[in-house]
Structures are given as C-alpha cells and as structure tokens.
Chains A and B, each alone.
Chain A
Amino acid sequence: MQTQPLATGKLASEKLELYYGEKRALHGIDISIPERRATALIGPSGCGKSTFLRCFNRMNDLIPGVRITGRATLDGADLYGRGVDVVELRRRVGMVFQKSNPFPKTIWENVAFGPRILGEKDKTKLDEIVERSLRNAALWDDVKDRMQASALSLSGGQQQRLCIARALAVEPEVLLMDEPASALDPIATARIEDLIHELKASYTIVIVTHSMQQAARVSDYTAFFYMGELVEFGDTETIFTNPKERRTEDYVTGRFG
C-alpha cells in the first residue's frame, strides 16, 4: 500500500477505522505525518479525507453515531485512549475550516478568543498575542487600524486569514486545514498558499484539498485517498510524477475524480 511508514511522525494512525453507524467510512488507515512539514490529503469527494483529518482533533466526536477503532496518535500518544483531555488536544491541534467562520464579534475579540478561554486576562499580553497572530497570518497590515471593527466586515480571503490567526493564537503544534481556500478567489487563494509556506517552518500542517495544483504547490508530502482507503502516501513530487499505484496516477493525471 503506502510507502515509507515514518515511525517518528508528529501525527500517526494505525489501522484506523471510522464508522458512521454501520457504514465504514475509513478502512484501516496507516500513516505517519512528519513534523514541521505540510502534508496534503487529496482524493475525490467522499473519499474520507476530511473525515480522516477530523480524527486528529476529535471533531468527529460531535457527530452522533460515529465509532472509531484503531489508533490515532499525537507525538506517539493515543488520542482515543482513556483519560485524553479533548479540550487540551484541540488546543494543541488547531483547525481551519472550509467555510471561513469568524465569530460575529470584533477582529480583536476573534483572535483573543482562544487565549481568553485559556485564562489570559492581561490586556497587554492579549494585545501582543493578537498582533503576533495576525502578523503570522499576514493580516496585520490590513486590519491594524480597525481592531474593533466587526470581523464580518472583512473580505472572504481576509476572514479566512483571520480564522488562521485565531487558530494560531493558542499556539498549537499542528494546524489542520480543511479545504481552506475552496471558497476563495485565485488571489486570496494565492495568499493563503504563501501563508502555508511560511507557517510550515513552525507548524505541522495537514491540508485537505480538492485542487491537485494546490497540493503540488504547498505540500511536502501527499496522501491519496480513495473510497475510504489510503491508496498511496509519499513525498509530493513522487506522488505527482512517479506514483506506484495505478489509481493514484489516474487521479493525479485527471483521468477520474
């Protein structure tokens, strides 16, 4: 199946299966995702790539009837074991959603939301965090003069970068991105992609994308999912130029999907 299992991955899964009720959506996924790299999950709609992504911050817990077997790990620790603090896990593993979802609050309040939840009350410290997060999300120059404006007054691309800033504000180790640019125009998409290039120096990034060009542009490693299976995983150049599996080749060359 997949190539080169990296035993020392930041995130990993072993024989991971996920069921929606009786329906099996993920079939024994084994993967090891390296630290401080961008890994793209690609595949046709309904192949399980978003479902798989959401296993790593346990967002699937919110869906009634979901059952998971096998292991998913962060730094080798089982995410579904006994006594796992889901709230703490989600602080370490941040997420950016497909549809930008800023809260209907001010720009400042959006970014400060996570740190405040964690108990930070000092206004000066919060200001520092907000500025640093917005700079890291390449949004600071756009919004520095209107921190008290509603987040909903921003453009679509800015809103998505605000959501990235909000996720960065709690200083996660991993950033899960679920088709973060699928609702954006090409210019806004390019800015998000530039941002991913910068962020992967400090964060482990896993990005689900529909766009193979995007996967090729931003990722170091690529995993191809098909019908709930991980068909092939390897460095992005190999997957796109010299895949081992016929199905991978058919997909990346646009023969189906």
Chain B
Amino acid sequence: MQLQVAQPAVDVTTPVSATATFDPPVVHVGEKAFYRVNVDATESSIEWPDTLAAPAALKFGANTRGMITQMQINSFRPLTAFLYEVQATAPGHFTITNFSVTVLGGPVEIPAASLDVVAANIPLPPAPPDARRLVLEIPATNFFLGQPFRVRVLLPPGPGNEIEALREVQFSGDGLMIDKTAMQQAIEPVNLNGQLETAFVCEMVVTPIAAGALKFAAQGFTAGREFTPPISIRGQVNLSGGPAKYVLLVSDPAEIKVRPLPVEGELPGFTGAIGKFFFDPPQLTTNRLHVGEPVQLRITFHGEGELTRLVPPAAPRSRDWQIIADPPPATSFTLIPLADDVSETPAIPFSYFDPEAAKYVDLTIPPLPVTVAGEGLPAELPTLDDAGKTAAPLKLSNLAATPGKTAWSLKPLQLRGWLVAVQLAPVAGFLALWQWDRRRRYLEAHPEIMRRARARRALQREQHRLQQAAAAGDAAAFVQHAARAMSIAVAPHFPADPHALVGGDVLAQLDAAARNGPAGETVRKVFAAADAQFAGTPPSPPDLAVLRPGVETVLQQLEEKL
C-alpha cells in the first residue's frame, strides 16, 4: 500500500493532445518517410481509423503503433504513437489534412502534416534524429520450429553520438514467441553500415512457433536516459541530455524460414531441446542406501543452445524406483529404491535435436551403480519337540569350504540334441559286429576265397625273395624260390599244400599252348633244377639272365588265374 501511494499518479485530467509530422519533412522522389502521429492517451482509448485520407501520390506502406508511459515531473502520462511508412511517387508539396478521432468518447483533432518531395538532384537538409531506423540483427535465416535464437535490436546513436535508451521493444509479425525474461541490454561498439559506432543494443530470445516463411520487424521508443538496469556498458559513451523524447522507431523487416522438426528418427526422451547439449557426469548423493531411502541424482547441463528454455527429461516409470523430477529450473531427480535387488539407478532417456546436423542426438542419463540394503531374513528359527518343549533351533548350514560336486551345465542332458547321437553310438558297434559275423559265415561257406587270398599274400612274399635272389645272383636260391612260388600259385586250384605239388601240377594249370611253349619249358627247367638240388646232384647253374624273364611271365600268368 505504501508503495502504491509513493508512485506518481497517472495524468488523466489534462486534455488529450495530438501531433502529426513527417520524418524527414523533405525527401527525394521514391524515398521513404514516416508519417508519425502521437496522441497522449492510451492505445485502447483511441478509435483510430483503418485508412487515412492522403494525396494519391503518397503510397502508404507498413504501419505500426505502440504505447509508452511518459515519465513527467509529478505524474505518468500515456503516449500512443502511430507510424506509417510513406513513399512519394512524384515531387511536390503533399499534406495530410487534419482529421478527428475519438479518444475516451470525445473528439480529438489530429493536425495536418506536410511532406515536401523534391527531385533527386536537389540536395536535402540533414535528416532529423526521429527519422532513424532501428537495426535488427538475426544470427541466421533458417531455423527449425521451436528453435530459440537470439535477436539483437540496435538503436544507432543520435546527433553528437548521443546514446539513448530504447524501451517497449516489440516485434511485429506472427509466429514468434518472445522471451523477455532473457533480455540483455548493453551499450557497446557495433558495426553500423561498415563503421564502428557505439549503440544501444537490446538482445532478446525469439522462438518460432509456426512453420514457413516468417517476416518480422522490431519497434521501440527512444527514452533518453531512462535506462532500465541491468545494462552493460563498454567503451566511451555520450548520454543525451535534457528530458527524454519518446519517439517510436521501427526496423527494416527481416525474413526467416522455419522448418518443422523431422518426425523420423525422434529418440525417446525428447522434450523439445534444440541446440547442442551435454552434461557433466551425473552425481548421486550416496551410492549405498536402503529401501525407501531417497537419493538425489544431480545432472548439470551445458550446451550451445538456449539453456534457459531447456526442459529437463521427464521422469521415467520404473518398477524398482520411484523417480521424482525436481521442480524446474533444477535438472535433478529424487530417486527412491523400492526393492533391494536393484544394482543401479534407472537410465533416464533424454535426447535433443541438433539443428546443424538436422538429427536427433541421444543424451540418455546413464545408470549409476548403487548398493541397496534390504530387510534381513532370520538365520535361526525356534522349534518345538513333540512334547511342546523348546528343541534345538533350526539353523542354516555353514558355508561350503570347497565348490564341491560340479556340472558342466545345469541344463539336463535329456534336453540336449546331441545326446540322441551319443545314445545311438552303440548301434554302430552292433552293426559292425553283425557285418563281421555275416562275412565270417560267408567265408566259411566259400573257403576257396580265403585260400586264394592266402596264396596271393604268400606269392607276394615269395616273389620278393625271388627278386632278392636274382639281384644277389644266387641261382640256386632263385630256382628254389621260383619253384615254390609256382607251387603256391597253383595250390588253391586243387586245393593242396604247395609243398606237395610238383612241376606237372604247375604245367596242368597252364593252357595247352603255354604248356608246350616257352612257359612250359621254363617250368620244367625250374623244377628240374630244384629237383636236382633236392636230390643232391650238383647241377650246372642255370643262366639267370635267360631264366628270369620266363619265370616272371609264368608267375604273371599263374597270378592272373589266382
């Protein structure tokens, strides 16, 4: 109440007055000027006409309006400004005549205002400071929907490089959300039209809330020395003297293109954060806790985006944890374990959209290891005997000192596929035995097969010895082995023991042509020599070089019949 009394009153008793001017009053053909009307009343109390009567050579462009509270000696007085952008198409003296508007139910006359338009070659007087324009600086022209960005509104210095404050800064245009809480003011050197000048800078955060091409301009009232703290000042500054002059200024419009965020690729935990973010390692107040005991998980975010507008991740649902997100702007969580078998905090999904890479980036808060102690279970139980008396308590066993009996796996063998193969392995053994028995019975029924096989093996051995004797030049041994080899080769045909056979038996197994030919002759020679050795008669040694090819031929013929 005391504060309200101390405030100056709002002046509503003084009659409403109005002014109308062109800024600048003289322009070249085709140049722009402002038609400015100031009425010292509130904007809502003025019934302003939609169109103004003006000469045909004056083309009205964009118009804007604004209201400011003027600080007078002992009172406040509202001031509403109407600003029209005007362009003259022909030289001449143009006047917008006086007209009347209704303010607070009564008529107020807007005085006439004149604009002189001269040819392009005629020099102009210096432009008054009211003809200045604000400068609007935006960091880029392409943004995503919901992507906050900083906008700078610059008020160029007035005559004598005097710096003025800028109040009631607004943006005209649809589809933008202005965050005035993040407004920063400064007086600093800036680059204006290629020249470094000290200017008043007002920085605000703007968030596009509509997709498509958005056009907007800045407006604000000059306010003399009425700076609103906080404000940072750099460099040498000349402040304007005298009472503040409230002039509504506008900037040239700026255009941005706003694209909607892609739907595909959106990650869990996206809360609308756009920019580039990261966080310090999450910190728990403790990692040993009990069931039901709260613990705080602190996460500190950093990044290139607007952290003031960062919405922290939502608390996920978990069966093992109760998760409570701390109230913004805090980005911490209170976690309460509900079970004692949890070994880590829950992962908290979070993601942001990176406008440079045009994709979502996962920034899930990772789980942290914790040890949760539960309620203990009894290690001993009292027992009663049959008579109802207390007996020895039932207790748990002691620890096993060794691992004890082991198993390869707890999965039973009955559920393993390879077990069938192992169990059927004896079948193969039985089949082999059965096959062996069949073969044995067959050989028993056909003994000649065995005899021939044995004869072949004996013949090979004998031929080997024969070769050795021939190589050694031992004619006697050669004859003995040749006779024996021939006997072995024909023995299965009789069947008979090879020792019981003579040359005639061998000849009997040769066909008639061979028997009467060289083969028969060889057989006879071999057996004659062998018989002579057996009888002890010293024979004349046979010529091995002659006899050997014949013996080999005979043995080959006999082996083929075997």
A and B are partners in one complex rather than unrelated chains: no
